[in-house]
Structure 1
C-alpha cells in the first residue's frame, strides 16, 4: 500500500491549504435538511458548552492529484460540502466586515498550475452532473437563499435531485445563522469557533489505497459505538452467565436506531431528560452529549436509574423508549399505529427539529386519547416557536423541567384527575407561552415569504390553513389526515415566472411594489391540484380565475367567489373570515396576507379535553 499521511486540520486550515475535488464517480450530495440541521446543532451545542472546546467531526479520506494541494475526496464529501456552503453563507452575512475577505479566501483562491498558468478555483469543486455549475453560480451570486435560487433559475442551469439538495442546504444554513446569531458580535464569535475549534483528521494516500481504506472502514467500523460505554457499564452489573442475554437485549436498542440512522447519543439525551429529573451545577436541567456517560456513573443518578440492582429492567425501559422514539419519528402514536395528530406534528417539525421528543417520551404512557390530545396542543405550541424561529436552546431547559410534570400526569391513576392535570399543564405551560409570543408570531408572519422557511414548512402552513377552512365549510369538527392538502402544489397567484407582458403590466399598475417581492409573499400563495395548476400556468389572474373555481380546496376557490348558503351556517360563518378578489394587485396580496394571519390564530390554539 502507498504511503499514508495524516493531518489534523481545523476548518480554516483545511480550506486555506487544500483544494477539494468531488470526482464524478462519488456519491452525489444527498444530505437533507435533517442532516444539515443536526450538524449545525451539534456545533452550536459545543459552543454553548464552552468556547475553547474542540468539536471533532471525524476523518476525511482523500487522494492527492497531480496538482499540488489538490485532493480527490473519497470519504467525507457530505461534511466538506456542507462546511463549504456554510462558508458561503458566512461570506454573505459578513458584508462590509473584514471577516468577509478572510472567508472569501477559503471559498476560492488563485494558484499556479503545473504549466505556470495563474488559475482561480473554488476550494471545493463537485464534478458530478451540473454540480460544479450550481456551486460556481452560488458563489458568484453571493446572495441570500431567495436570490441564489432565483439566480440559478435565471441562469438556465438545471437543478434537481442532489443539485436541489445543494441549494436547499445553503438555505437551511443561511436561515440557521440568521436565527441563532442575529447580531454581528454573535456571528463573529460563531465564526471564531468554527474556524479554529471544529477539527478533523485528513487521511491522504493514492486513490486505490484510499478506496481500500474506505472499504475497510465501512466493513469493520472504527472506534466504539457511542452507546458501547453504557453497555460495558451494564455488563459489569450482571453475572457472566447473563452476558448473552444482556447482549441480545441490548441489540433491541442499538439495531433499530442504526436501521433508522438515528444518532444514539441524541436519543440518550432525550431519554434522560424525558425520564429523570436532571440536576447539574448549571441548574439548566440539561444533559449534553459529552456528559451522558458521566451522568450515568454519578452515584445519585445511578441510584435513580437503578441499573446496578436491576440492569435488565433498565435496559427494557430504554428499549420501550427507543420503540416510542422511532414510532414518533415516523408519525405514529404511542400505540405504534398511524396517528393523525403525530403525522401533523411530524410535518411541522420535519427532520430539523427533534427536541420535542423529550416531551413526547415523557407523555408516552398517557392513555391514547389523552396522548393524541396532548400532541395536538404540543403542535400548536411548537408552531409559535418554530415560526418565530426561536433558538432551541431557549426551549431545552423548559422541556426537561416540563417532562417531570408530564411523567407525574402520565402516572396519575384517577382518569378524571389526570384530565384536569393535563388541562392545567397545557394552560400553564403552553397557552401562557403562546400568549407571550403572540405579537412576535404576528410580526414574523407579516414578513413571511415562500423563502422564510424550508418549503415543507410553508406547505404545512398552507395545508393546515386549507384544512381548517375546508372543515369549517363542511361543518366537520374532527380533523382528518393532512395528506390530501399536503400533496397539493404551491401556486403563485401572481406567477413565479411571468412573461414580459405580465411583469410590465404589474409594474405599470403597482409602481411602488416590487414584483419579485410580492410574488413570494404569503398572501400570494395558495394550494392547487397539479392538473389545474398546469392549465393555469403563468397566466394573468383574470385568466386563472376559472381554473381556481375548479379546485376542491375552498380556500383557493374563495379567491374568485364565496359560496353563499343560508344564514348562520358553517359556510356563512367561515365566509366572514374570507374574501373574494376581482383583481389581483399589491393591495389584494396585502389584504389576503392579513386574512391568512388572522386565520392562523383560529388554527393553532390550545383546547381543553372533552369530558
Structure 2
C-alpha cells in the first residue's frame, strides 16, 4: 500500500488549500432535508454554547490527482458538499461585506496547471452528470433559491435525484441562515465559528489504497465509539469473569443508537441532565460533550450514579433510558404506542432539534394521562420557541433545571399530588414563558412567509391550521394524526410561477402599489393546503378561475376561501365561520394581508397553554 498521510483541516483551511473532485463513480449527493437540518442545528448549538473548542466532524478520505492540490473524494463527499453549499449561501448573505471576497475564493479560484496555463475551477467539483452545472447555476443566480431552477430550465438541465437534492439542500441552508442570522454581527460570529472551529482529519493516499481503506473502514469500523469510553470506565469496576456479561449488556445501549443514527454523546448528555442534578462552575446545569467524562470522575457524581458499586444497575438504567428515548424519537408516548402529540412535536422540530428529550426523559415515569398532557403543552411551548427563534442556549439552561422539577414530580407516589404539581409546573414554566413571548410570536407570524423556516415546519403550521378548522367544523375535540394534512400540497393562491398576464394584472392593481409580487406570493396568508389532483387542475390561474377548484377541497380552511357553509344556528359550523372569511374575485396584497391576520387570530386558539383541570 502506498504512503498514507493525514492532516487536520478547518473548513476555511480545507477550501483554501485544496480542490476537491467528486468522481463520477462515487455515490451522488443523497442528503435530504433531515440530514442537512441536523447538521445546521448541530452547528448552531455549538455556536450558541459559546465554546472556543474545536468541533470534530470526522474524517475525509481523498486521493491526490496529477494536478497540485487536487484530490478525488473517496469518502465524505456528503459532508464536504453540504459545507460547500453553506459557503455558497454565506457568500450571498455577506454581499457587500469584506467576508464576501474571502468566501468567494473558497468557492472558486484560479490556479496554474501543468502546462502553465491559468485555469479557474470550483473548489468542490462534482463530476456526476450535470452536478457541476447545478453548482454554477446556484452561483450565477446570485445565490437566490427561487432563481436556480429557472436558470437550469433555460439551459435544458433536468432536476431530479442528486441534482434536486443539491438544490433543496442549498435552499434549506440559505433560508436557515437568512432566518437565524439576520444581523451582520451574528452572521459574522457564525462564519468565524464555522471557518475556524469546525475541523476534520483528511486522509490522503493513492486511489487504489484509498478505496481499500474505505472498504476496511466499512467492514471493521474505526476507532472507539464515544460510548466505549464510558464502557471502559465501567469495566474497571466489574470482575474479569463478568466482562462478557457487561459487553453483551452494553450492546443493548449502542446497537439501538447506531441503528437509529443517534449520536452517542448527545444521548449521554440528555441522559445525565434528565436523571441527575447538574452542578458546574458556570451554574447553568448543562453538561457539554467534552465534559461528560469529567462528570463521571467527580466524587458527588460517583455517589449519585453509584456506577462503581453497582455497575450493572447503572448500565440497565442507561439501557432503559435508551429504549425510552428511541420510542420517543419514533413518535410514541410513554406507553409504547403511537402518540398524536409526540408525532406533532416530531413534525415541528424535525431531525435537528432535540433538546426537549431532556424534559421528556425526566418525566417519562408519569402516568400516561399526565405525560400526554405534558406533551400537548410542550408542543405549544416549542412552537413559541421555534417561531420566535429563542436562543438554544437559553432553552438548554432552562430545560436542565426544569428536568430536575419534572423528575421530582415523576417520583411522587400519590397521583393527585403529581397532578397538582405538574399543573403548577406547566403554568409557571410554559404558561408564563409563552405569555411573555406573545408579542414576539404575533410579530413573527405577521412577517412569516414560505421561507421563514424549513419547509417541513411551514407544512406543520399549515397542517395545524387546517386540522383545527376541520375539527371545529365537525364539532370534534379529540385530536388525531396530522399525517393526512402534512401529505397535502402547499398551494400558492397567488401562483409561485405566474403567467405574464397575471403578473401584469397584479402590478397594475391599485391595492398593490409598491407591493412586490414575489414577496406576497410567499406570505403565509397566500398559502393553503390542497389535495394534489385539485392542485394540478387549479394550476397557475387567476384566483377568480381557481375558486371553483377550491370549493371541491374537503378541507374547510381551503374551501371557505370562496364560500362558507351555513347550517343551523349556533352550530359547530356557524361558530367556526365566525373566525373565517370568504373572498371575492380579487386576490391582491390587501386580501393576503387580511388572511394572514385571520390565521394569526386562529393561532392564538390553536397554540395555547391550558391548565390540567380544563
What TM-score, normalized to structure 1?
0.96
* Partner secondary structure for residue 355 of structure 2: coil
Match status 1:493 vs 2:496: no
Q: Deviations over 1:55-80 (max 9, x none)?
A: 33222111122222221100111121
CA distance in 1, matches of 2:494, 2:155: 22
Q: In the alignment, which residue of structure 2 is the partner of 1:18?
A: 18
Native 8 Å contact 1:5 1:203 kept in 2? yes
| Residue 115 of structure 1: how far off its partner (Å) | 3.8
Q: Is 197-206 or 265-274 further displaced after alignment?
A: 197-206
Written as runs of structure 1 = structure 2, the 5 A alignment for 1:418-567 is 418-509=418-509, 510-567=512-569
Written as runs of structure 1 = structure 2, the 5 A alignment for 1:47-196 is 47=47, 52-146=52-146, 148=148, 157-196=157-196
Q: In the alignment, which residue of structure 2 is the partner of 1:578?
A: 580
Q: In the alignment, which residue of structure 2 is the partner of 1:307?
A: 307
Q: Deviations over 1:7-52 (max 9, x none)?
A: 2322222111211111122122222344334434444455556654
Is the alpha carbon distance of 1:189 and 1:521 closer, same or farther for their aligned partners in structure 2, counting shifts above 3 Å?
closer
Native 8 Å contact 1:25 1:128 kept in 2? yes
Q: In the alignment, which residue of structure 1 is the partner of 2:380?
A: 380
| Residue 179 of structure 1: how far off its partner (Å) | 4.9
CA distance in 2, matches of 1:293, 1:360: 24
Equivalent in 591, 596, 611 of residue 608 of structure 1: 611
Is the alpha carbon distance of 1:486 and 1:145 closer, same or farther for their aligned partners in structure 2, counting shifts above 3 Å?
same
Native 8 Å contact 1:179 1:391 kept in 2? no
Is the alpha carbon distance of 1:43 and 1:487 closer, same or farther for their aligned partners in structure 2, counting shifts above 3 Å?
closer
Is the alpha carbon distance of 1:42 and 1:535 closer, same or farther for their aligned partners in structure 2, counting shifts above 3 Å?
closer
* Partner secondary structure for residue 111 of structure 1: strand
* Partner secondary structure for residue 201 of structure 1: strand
CA distance in 1, matches of 2:275, 2:433: 23
Q: In the alignment, which residue of structure 2 is the partner of 1:267?
A: 267
Moved over 6 A (4+): none
Q: Structure 1: which 5+ runs fail to align?
A: none
Q: Is 110-119 or 44-53 further displaced after alignment?
A: 44-53
CA distance in 2, matches of 1:154, 1:403: 55
Native 8 Å contact 2:45 2:392 kept in 1? no
* Partner secondary structure for residue 7 of structure 1: strand
Q: Is 380-389 or 237-246 further displaced after alignment?
A: 237-246
Native 8 Å contact 1:145 1:451 kept in 2? no
Is the alpha carbon distance of 1:333 and 1:154 closer, same or farther for their aligned partners in structure 2, counting shifts above 3 Å?
farther
Is the alpha carbon distance of 1:262 and 1:601 closer, same or farther for their aligned partners in structure 2, counting shifts above 3 Å?
same
Is the alpha carbon distance of 1:48 and 1:553 closer, same or farther for their aligned partners in structure 2, counting shifts above 3 Å?
closer
Native 8 Å contact 1:88 1:139 kept in 2? yes
Q: In the alignment, which residue of structure 2 is the partner of 1:277?
A: 277
Is the alpha carbon distance of 1:144 and 1:392 closer, same or farther for their aligned partners in structure 2, counting shifts above 3 Å?
farther
| Residue 176 of structure 1: how far off its partner (Å) | 4.1
* Partner secondary structure for residue 226 of structure 2: coil
Match status 1:596 vs 2:599: yes
Is the alpha carbon distance of 1:157 and 1:438 closer, same or farther for their aligned partners in structure 2, counting shifts above 3 Å?
farther
Q: Deviations over 1:288-314 (max 9, x none)?
A: 111111111211111111111221111
| Residue 348 of structure 1: how far off its partner (Å) | 0.7
Native 8 Å contact 1:57 1:199 kept in 2? yes
CA distance in 2, matches of 1:278, 1:24: 50
| Residue 478 of structure 1: how far off its partner (Å) | 0.7
CA distance in 1, matches of 2:384, 2:154: 35
Q: In the alignment, which residue of structure 1 is the partner of 2:247?
A: 247
CA distance in 2, matches of 1:580, 1:431: 33
* Partner secondary structure for residue 270 of structure 1: helix
Q: Is 172-181 or 483-492 further displaced after alignment?
A: 172-181
Native 8 Å contact 2:524 2:596 kept in 1? yes
Equivalent residues, number: 611
Q: Deviations over 1:348-402 (max 9, x none)?
A: 1111211111111111111111111110100000001111122311200000000
Is the alpha carbon distance of 1:317 and 1:70 closer, same or farther for their aligned partners in structure 2, counting shifts above 3 Å?
same
Is the alpha carbon distance of 1:279 and 1:144 closer, same or farther for their aligned partners in structure 2, counting shifts above 3 Å?
farther
CA distance in 2, matches of 1:387, 1:302: 40
Native 8 Å contact 1:7 1:203 kept in 2? yes
Native 8 Å contact 1:179 1:390 kept in 2? no
Native 8 Å contact 1:46 1:53 kept in 2? no
Is the alpha carbon distance of 1:539 and 1:49 closer, same or farther for their aligned partners in structure 2, counting shifts above 3 Å?
closer
| Residue 590 of structure 1: how far off its partner (Å) | 1.0
What TM-score, normalized to structure 2?
0.95
| Residue 180 of structure 1: how far off its partner (Å) | 4.8
Is the alpha carbon distance of 1:29 and 1:228 closer, same or farther for their aligned partners in structure 2, counting shifts above 3 Å?
same
* Partner secondary structure for residue 568 of structure 1: coil
Q: Is 502-511 or 96-105 further displaced after alignment?
A: 502-511
* Partner secondary structure for residue 283 of structure 2: coil
Q: Deviations over 1:85-118 (max 9, x none)?
A: 1211221222222121111111111123334433
Is the alpha carbon distance of 1:521 and 1:44 closer, same or farther for their aligned partners in structure 2, counting shifts above 3 Å?
closer
* Partner secondary structure for residue 53 of structure 1: coil
